[in-house]
């Protein structure tokens, strides 16, 4: 594979950008700021996370904690761009398959030992090993590390994985195929180092407070599962001088309305805004209620399996159903939290993604409705022969509200009879996985900030393609995009194909809707993945 | 009496075994599994995980292994959902929390419930009776999932007197609202049962005799009426006590206590097989134990009952 110009430029740019800031730790607090006496941050999550072991962490809330406790090769800044973490910079070989990372020599574990390249090598091999059986082992595979699949399958020893510590501060990584966004993936917890002697000393108990040795800006100081997790400053952290918050507390509060009450009572600095309450709260607390793009797309999928329902095999029927959905009503009236209507699948705010022009997006809803009627009629459905749809979604008030609104729109515009069935989560996943539905709800969140994280879902063989949509041209475009000079060419074509064939109906692009105490500053509102680092936050004195 | 207790304990063993097997079958019959997610795991990753937890074994073997580990090692296995913790850890952390607020709720419900019910019966058709009946009906129709947010609104948001949730090692200010919310409906039931039972007792012949002998009313009630009044109350208290100390998911959700109720419900949603089984066995064993306690109390209160 020849190296393309774009990748060369991209990797050089990364090196320049990173070396530009290397060694100069930025202090986030502007001079003259009056800080609050107590530098604490207390926030709410809805559920306890399965694990805080970097090798196993699998959910967003867990990843937020792990990002504070451990530090990977790179971090993200306020805008989501890469900045040095343990690595200062890296170089890429001409064939784009070998990355060599240059690590800082002043990074330390919380027990004072230096962080070395060997710690990364150990952590990555551990994450891939069948012995750990991490649910996130697939991330190592997604990173295209050499021999990743064979190691996960137990066909090769973990030592065969394409990662080697050349010396204490040099880490070499070998990929099985060029991956333009490889460095972006290094801010994920799965790639963070762990200390071998610590893990081996305590076994699966190593993640408990008191046992855990970590290399991030914070250490875990208290953990009551299902209730709270407290992290406090790590005085061994290389940039501890520029860290401002002293303690960060995560409280598990299952009910979001209770959490809001406690926020308003001053017990929390951050909580989620319950569905539908954003307009009221943003009027009442304009400095605190915020809505920012969140890297997920909400969609309905059709069951396109060979043994699936016949009527949905006709693209005209699928298109008609898509056209008849008034997305503006869904985002403005039903959700009302700053979400955006979706006419294409990839989230609009994805880095480097140029939103394609989809004809439907420029039409008025009247025009769409008229075309939808015509399409459905052409497919042979009408008042005498109404189309019936079995719509499945997982139990949740907001999914239900969306489903009810859409079934109304289908009924009014097209005379479609919709049966709504909500299912408990596991039952729902089972129904979707085995094809026991006509139309099912889906939500997909980015694993990394690049359009392929969304569009890979449309690949015929993808395990996440619950529609079982097959299109050879799409597969081909997805493969070409991996090494393309400008993958937006391929991405645009894929989106156009999806708009035309409608294997899925994109409905809206998510927004994260939160209340944030206005004393907390430097929240990364422009970080699309909403990756926040407590070390970059600070609390100013109350006015 | 002693042989009765022994016999009951002996029956408890097969009862629990049947409970284990039935729960196991029901659990596996539910669609999905502990490692299903929106993003299905690659086959090889799933196979690694299933091998780690023994889920690749035949069904009968899984049950036998499970029972063996529980009986011989008192080990309920690792949690499938909380990967770094065992079921023993989950129970050891959540159960004391639930036990604490459950115990205080029970105490409050019994003391206030019996007091209200008895007072209402003694002063039947007085303003006290109407008040007591009014309170207990009010408490009965106000379920704890309505009660909890109202308490939060008043004591946390408006008055700012109490923290809106959490546990913090079980300090009293964290206990007040959970205890009130959990105890009210039990309190109402106890008051109702006590009232009707006491009315019946007060109208019976032996009380009339006692009154006729000229005993003071106080003595009639405490010496003669209270004990028989308690019989129906106690048969209600056994299961109620187990219900309270094994947790209310509503209390755990609204007051973020970290108690066992929320773990139990989440384990069912997440198909966390080992946690489902662990808590089921705990609740089952406690139910059997406290039914036995109720039977023993019966014999102690009512000399007519012989085992």
In a domain, A3, yes or no: no
Distance (Å) from the alpha carbon of B144 to chain A's nearest alpha carbon: 14
Question: Band of the pLDDT at A16, cuts 50, 70, 90?
Answer: very low
* Tens digits of residue pLDDT in B134-150: 988 888 888 888 889 99
Residue predicted with more confidence, A346 or A395: A346
Distance CA B172, CA A165 (A): 54
Instruction: Of A249-253, A285-289, B152-156, B169-173, give the lowest mean pLDDT range.
Output: B169-173
* HSE value, Cβ hemisphere, 13 Å, CA-based, for B34: 23
Residues A246 and A328 in one domain: no
For residue A414, what are its two tokens? 């097209």
In a domain, A56, yes or no: yes
**Measured over all CA atoms, what is the biggest interatomic distance in chain B, rounded to whole angstroms?**
85
Q: Cβ distance B100 to B257 under 8 Å?
A: no
Cβ neighbours of A50 in B, within 8 Å: 81-83
Per-residue pLDDT, B12: 87
In a domain, A274, yes or no: no
Distance CA B208, CA A463 (A): 79
Residues A71 and A95 in one domain: yes
**What would you report as the CA-atom Rg of chain A, rounded to the nearest whole angstrom?**
24
In a domain, A363, yes or no: yes
* Tens digits of residue pLDDT in B74-132: 888 888 888 888 999 999 999 999 999 999 999 999 999 999 999 999 888 999 899 98
CA angle A513, A514, A515 (to 5 degrees): 145
Partner residue facing A133 (CB), from B52, B93, B167: B52
Per-residue pLDDT, A156: 94
Question: Band of the pLDDT at A24, cuts 50, 70, 90?
Answer: very low
Is A46 an 8 Å CB contact of chain B? no
Question: Band of the pLDDT at B38, cuts 50, 70, 90?
Answer: confident
* Tens digits of residue pLDDT in B248-277: 888 998 999 989 988 998 899 888 999 999
Partner residue facing B262 (CB), from A137, A226, A265: A226
* Tens digits of residue pLDDT in A39-73: 999 999 988 998 999 999 988 899 999 999 999 99
Per-residue pLDDT, A26: 55
Say whether pLDDT at A230 is over 90. yes
Per-residue pLDDT, A32: 85
Cβ <8 Å between A152 and B48:
yes
Partner residue facing B41 (CB), from A47, A138, A264: A138
Per-residue pLDDT, A231: 97
Q: Cβ distance A75 to A191 under 8 Å?
A: no
- Give CA A207 to chain center in angstroms: 24
* Tens digits of residue pLDDT in A448-505: 888 999 999 999 988 789 999 999 999 999 999 887 888 999 999 999 999 999 999 9
Per-residue pLDDT, B307: 67
Residues A96 and A179 in one domain: yes
Per-residue pLDDT, A8: 33
Burial per residue of A431-468, b for 16 or more beta-carbon CB atoms within 10 angstroms, e otherwise: bbeebbbbbbbbebbbbbbbbbbbbbbbbeebeebbbb
Residues A135 and A191 in one domain: yes
Residues A525 and A506 in one domain: no
Say whether pLDDT at A221 is over 50. yes
Per-residue pLDDT, A55: 94
The domain that holds A345 is classified in CATH as 3.10.105.10
Per-residue pLDDT, A58: 84
Residues A463 and A379 in one domain: yes
Residues A362 and A336 in one domain: yes
Distance (Å) from the alpha carbon of A51 to chain B's nearest alpha carbon: 6
Mutate to test the interface with A, among B28, B34, B46, B48 (most CBs of A within 10 A): B48
Per-residue pLDDT, B221: 86
A vs B: CB pairs below 8 A: 137
| Complex confidence, ipTM | 0.86
Mutate to test the interface with A, among B49, B93, B166, B264 (most CBs of A within 10 A): B166
Per-residue pLDDT, A125: 97
Cβ <8 Å between A138 and B90:
no
In a domain, A276, yes or no: no
Cβ neighbours of B149 in A, within 8 Å: 257-258, 261
Q: What is the mean pLDDT of residues A388-399?
A: 91
Say whether pLDDT at A536 is over 90. yes
Is A141 an 8 Å CB contact of chain B? yes
Residues A37 and A155 in one domain: yes
H runs (alpha helix) in chain B: 2-29, 43-53, 59-73, 87-122, 127-141, 144-151, 172-202, 205-212, 217-219, 226-245, 249-255, 260-270, 273-301
Q: Could you say which DSSP state residue A506 is in?
A: E
Per-residue pLDDT, B303: 77
Nearest to A499 by CA among A318, A309, A303, A354: A318
In a domain, A284, yes or no: no
**Closest-CA residue in chain A for B33?**
A426
Distance CA B31, CA A345 (A): 29
Q: Cβ distance A156 to A147 under 8 Å?
A: yes
The domain that holds A12 is classified in CATH as 3.90.76.10
Say whether pLDDT at A17 is over 90. no
Residues A470 and A536 in one domain: no
Which residues form the domain of A198? 8-269+517-543
Nearest to A301 by CA among A417, A440, A435, A408: A440
Per-residue pLDDT, A365: 96
Residues A239 and A200 in one domain: yes
Say whether pLDDT at A13 is over 50. no
Q: What is the mean pLDDT of residues B179-204?
A: 92
Say whether pLDDT at A6 is over 70. no
Per-residue pLDDT, B18: 93
Distance CA A45, CA A271 (A): 8
Mutate to test the interface with A, among B31, B53, B252 (most CBs of A within 10 A): B31
**What would you report as the CA-atom Rg of chain B, rounded to the nearest whole angstrom?**
24
Count of the separate structural domains present in chain A: 2
Distance (Å) from the alpha carbon of B253 to chain A's nearest alpha carbon: 5
Cβ <8 Å between B31 and A443:
no
Q: Cβ distance A226 to B263 under 8 Å?
A: yes
In a domain, A279, yes or no: no
Question: What's the whole-number average pLDDT of chain B?
Answer: 88
Question: What's the whole-number average pLDDT of chain A?
Answer: 91
In a domain, A27, yes or no: yes
Residues A14 and A103 in one domain: yes
Give CA separation, B269 vs A274, B37, B255, in Å: 22, 12, 20
Partner residue facing B38 (CB), from A262, A264, A429: A429
Per-residue pLDDT, B270: 87
Per-residue pLDDT, B279: 92
Is A155 an 8 Å CB contact of chain B? no
CA angle A463, A464, A465 (to 5 degrees): 95
Q: What is the mean pLDDT of residues B171-183?
A: 93
Say whether pLDDT at A14 is over 70. no
DSSP string, A294-322: EEEEEEEEE---TTS-GGGGSHHHHHHHH
Per-residue pLDDT, A27: 59
* Tens digits of residue pLDDT in A244-288: 999 999 999 988 899 999 999 999 999 999 888 999 999 999 999
DSSP string, B151-194: HIIIIIIIS--S-SS--GGG-HHHHHHHHHHHHHHHHHHHHHHH
Question: Band of the pLDDT at A3, cuts 50, 70, 90?
Answer: very low
Residues A383 and A461 in one domain: yes
């Amino acid at each position: 594979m020849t190296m393309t110009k774009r990748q060369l430029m991209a990797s050089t740019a990364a090196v320049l950008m990173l070396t530009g800031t290397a060694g100069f730790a930025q202090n986030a607090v502007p001079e003259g700021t009056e800080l609050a006496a107590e530098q604490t941050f207390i926030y709410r999550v809805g559920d306890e996370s399965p694990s805080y072991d970097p090798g196993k962490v699998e959910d967003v809330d867990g990843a937020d904690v792990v990002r504070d406790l451990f530090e990977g090769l790179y971090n993200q800044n306020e805008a989501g761009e890469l900045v040095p973490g343990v690595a200062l910079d890296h170089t890429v070989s001409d064939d784009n398959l070998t990355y060599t990372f240059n690590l800082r020599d002043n990074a330390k574990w919380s027990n004072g030992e230096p962080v070395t390249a060997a710690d990364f090598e150990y952590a990555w091999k551990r994450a891939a090993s069948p012995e750990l059986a991490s649910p996130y082992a697939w991330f190592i595979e997604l990173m295209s590390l050499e021999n990743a699949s064979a190691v996960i399958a137990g066909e090769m020893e973990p030592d065969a994985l394409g990662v080697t510590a050349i010396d204490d501060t040099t880490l070499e990584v070998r990929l099985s195929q060029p991956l333009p966004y490889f460095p972006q993936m290094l801010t994920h917890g799965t790639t963070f180092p762990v200390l071998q002697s610590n893990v081996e000393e305590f076994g699966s108990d190593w993640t408990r407070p008191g046992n855990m040795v970590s290399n991030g800006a914070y250490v875990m100081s208290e953990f009551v599962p299902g209730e709270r997790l407290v992290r406090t400053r790590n005085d061994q952290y290389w940039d501890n001088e520029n860290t401002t918050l002293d303690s960060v507390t995560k409280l598990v509060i299952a009910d979001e309305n209770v959490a809001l009450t406690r926020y308003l009572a001053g017990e929390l600095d951050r909580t989620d805004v319950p569905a539908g309450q954003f307009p009221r709260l943003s009027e009442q607390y304009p400095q605190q209620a915020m809505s920012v793009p969140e890297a997920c797309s909400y969609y309905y999928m059709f069951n396109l399996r060979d043994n699936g329902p016949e009527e949905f095999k006709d693209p005209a029927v699928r298109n008609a159903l898509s056209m008849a959905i008034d997305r503006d009503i869904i985002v403005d009236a039903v959700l009302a939290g700053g979400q955006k209507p979706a006419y294409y699948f990839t989230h609009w705010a994805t880095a480097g993604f140029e939103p394609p022009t989809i004809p439907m997006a420029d039409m008025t809803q009247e025009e769409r409705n008229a075309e939808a009627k015509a399409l459905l009629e052409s497919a042979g459905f009408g008042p005498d022969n109404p189309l019936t749809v079995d719509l499945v979604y997982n139990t949740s008030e907001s999914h239900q509200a969306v489903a009810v609104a859409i079934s109304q729109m289908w009924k009014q515009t097209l005379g479609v009879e919709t049966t709504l069935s909500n299912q408990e989560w596991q039952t729902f996943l089972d129904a979707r996985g085995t094809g026991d539905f006509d139309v099912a709800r889906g939500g997909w969140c980015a694993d990394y900030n690049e359009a392929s994280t969304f569009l890979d879902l449309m690949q015929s063989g993808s395990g996440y393609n619950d529609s079982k949509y097959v299109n050879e041209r799409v597969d081909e475009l997805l493969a070409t995009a991996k090494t393309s000079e400008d993958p937006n060419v391929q991405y645009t074509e894929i989106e156009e194909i999806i708009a035309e064939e409608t294997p899925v109906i994109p409905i809206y692009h998510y927004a994260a809707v939160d209340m944030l105490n206005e004393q907390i500053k430097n929240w990364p509102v422009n970080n699309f993945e909403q990756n926040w680092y407590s070390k970059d936050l600070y609390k100013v004195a109350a006015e | 009496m002693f042989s009765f207790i022994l016999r009951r304990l002996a029956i408890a063993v097969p009862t629990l075994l049947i409970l284990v097997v039935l729960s196991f079958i029901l659990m596996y019959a539910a669609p999905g599994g502990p490692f299903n997610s929106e993003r299905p795991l690659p086959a090889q990753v799933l196979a690694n995980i299933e091998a780690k937890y023994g889920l690749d074994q035949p069904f009968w073997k899984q049950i036998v292994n499970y029972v063996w580990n529980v009986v011989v090692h008192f080990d309920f296995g690792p949690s499938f959902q909380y990967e770094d913790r065992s079921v023993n850890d989950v129970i050891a952390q959540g159960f004391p929390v639930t036990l604490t607020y459950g115990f205080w709720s029970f105490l409050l419900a019994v003391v206030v419930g019996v007091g209200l019910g008895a007072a209402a019966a003694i002063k039947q058709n007085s303003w006290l009776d109407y008040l007591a009946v009014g309170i207990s009906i009010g408490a009965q129709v106000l379920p704890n999932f309505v009660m909890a947010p109202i308490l939060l609104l008043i004591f946390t948001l408006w008055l700012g007197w109490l923290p809106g949730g959490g546990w913090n090692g079980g300090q009293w200010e964290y206990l007040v609202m959970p205890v009130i919310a959990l105890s009210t409906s039990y309190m109402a039931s106890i008051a109702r049962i006590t009232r009707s039972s006491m009315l019946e007792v007060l109208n019976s012949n032996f009380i009339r005799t006692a009154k006729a002998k000229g005993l003071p009313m106080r003595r009639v009630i405490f010496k003669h009426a209270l004990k028989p009044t308690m019989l129906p109350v106690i048969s209600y208290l056994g299961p109620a006590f187990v219900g309270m100390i094994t947790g209310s998911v509503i209390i755990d959700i609204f007051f973020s206590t970290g108690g066992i109720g929320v773990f139990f419900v989440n384990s069912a949603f997440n198909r966390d097989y080992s946690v489902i089984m662990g808590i089921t066995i705990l609740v089952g064993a406690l139910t059997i134990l406290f039914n036995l306690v109720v039977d023993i109390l019966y014999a102690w209160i009512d000399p007519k009952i012989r085992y």
